[in-house]
Amino acid sequence: MLKIEKFEGMVAAPFTPMDSKGNLKTELIHEYYYFLQKNGIVGAFINGTTGEGASLTQKEKQLQVQKWAECLKEGGKVRIINMVGGTCINECVENALFSYEAGLSAIAVIGPYFFKPSNDSHLAEFVAQVGEAVPELPVYYYHFPAMTGVNFGMAGFISKISKMLPNFAGIKFTHEDFMDFTLCLNYNDGAYDLLWGRDECILPALATGCKGFVGSTYNFAAPLYHLIIDSFNKGDLETARRLYIKVAKMVSLLGKYGGIATGKAFIKIAGIDCGGFRPPIKNLTEEMYNSLKQDIKLLGLQEFLSKK
């Protein structure tokens, strides 16, 4: 079996930088990478949901891989996971091989969300077929049933995939089922890397013993989460709970201003302008952007934003 180097700390799910016409702006990735590193981020989960992976062409995904890999090769400390999954298994394998050849740290495979697997064994077979193409690269499963509709218990899945794929590393768990998460976290004495994927539930995730977290808001509010994690680890639950209220208020602003596109507005305020999202996602108007900035100040969130 492949030796698993677990992630401890925050793994940001980067936005895909784009220009005003919706074309990739890959020249920003170097600055973005070191912005994350400066703010204590330990990993980047590229081409995922936040990164608009489903809205990118195959070539665009690979261009992103190349640019993020360049930062890693020049001595960067932020490890890179590439989300290679999708609806076409041949493209998944192609992206997995490309990730390995580029020198990335790991790959992730999401459940195929058009023609869906019929059960957890069928899902494990799909993931294993992709992972077998890159036996020296750690493979994560990306569990996000709210988006994919692929909703099997991960405790059953992990018991099956562990027997099929020697380089299976763990799960990016983006679902609120804490019982299922805890069973996976402790499967085979904690053999696998379970990465919590709901930023707004980080405090209860810490209570399960979770050490690694993947999310979009870590892009622009890393200092807030560092304080929560540090407070929890010190046993200062009062401070952790008080700061957790800030997380709830911050995440509520994403909903207030239309969802995922608000994240790019947040990181622009923090100093990294990644442009807008591609259709059909609606971007913030200038009026909404200015209103968001005011809300950030009113809620006292400004001091918790990541710094350039």
pLDDT of 202: 98
Look up residue 33 and give its two tokens: 């990478």
Q: Which residues are catalytic?
A: 142, 172
pLDDT of 186: 98
Tell whether 153 is covered by a domain.
yes
Helices (H), 16-137: 29-38, 58-73, 89-102, 120-131
Helices (H), the chain: 29-38, 58-73, 89-102, 120-131, 145-148, 154-164, 178-185, 202-207, 222-233, 237-256, 261-270, 286-298
Lookup result for tokens 């979770």: 210
Look up residue 250 and give its two tokens: 């911050």
Mean pLDDT taken over the chain: 97
Domain extent for 128: 9-220
Phi and psi angles of residue 24, each rounded to the nearest 5 degrees, phi first? -60, 140
Phi and psi angles of residue 62, each rounded to the nearest 5 degrees, phi first? -70, -35
pLDDT tens by residue, 63-112: 999 999 999 999 999 999 999 989 999 999 999 999 999 999 999 999 99
Lookup result for tokens 């990164």: 51
Instruction: Give the CATH number for residue 44.
Output: 3.20.20.70
Q: How far apart are CA 98 and CA 117, in angstroms?
A: 25
Residue type at position 53: G
pLDDT of 181: 98
User: What is the arithmetic mean of pLDDT over 304-308?
Assistant: 96
Pairing of strands 168-173, 193-196: parallel
pLDDT tens by residue, 164-208: 999 999 999 999 999 999 999 999 999 999 999 999 999 999 999
Tell whether 26 is covered by a domain.
yes
Tell whether 80 is covered by a domain.
yes
Nearest to 61 by CA among 20, 104, 31, 32: 104
Tell whether 239 is covered by a domain.
no
Q: How far apart are CA 74 and CA 34, in angstroms?
A: 11
Output Rg (C-alpha) for the chain, integer angstroms.
18
- Residue 54's alpha-carbon distances to 7, 16, 31, 165, 224, in angstroms, are 25, 12, 24, 25, 29
pLDDT of 43: 98
Contact assessment for residue 78 and residue 33, using Cβ atoms and an 8 Å cutoff: yes
Tell whether 216 is covered by a domain.
yes
Question: For the chain, how many structural domains are there in total?
Answer: 1
Tell whether 25 is covered by a domain.
yes
Beta-carbon contacts of 292 under 8 Å, excluding residues fewer than 6 positions away, are 253, 257, 262, 265, 266, 269, 284
pLDDT tens by residue, 9-18: 999 999 999 9
Contact assessment for residue 18 and residue 9, using Cβ atoms and an 8 Å cutoff: no
1 pLDDT above the threshold of 80: no
Tell whether 100 is covered by a domain.
yes
Tell whether 258 is covered by a domain.
no
Contact assessment for residue 187 and residue 169, using Cβ atoms and an 8 Å cutoff: no
pLDDT tens by residue, 222-267: 999 999 999 999 999 999 999 999 999 999 999 999 999 999 999 9
Tell me the pTM.
Answer: 0.97
- Under DSSP, is residue 114 helix (H, G, I), strand (E, B) or coil? coil
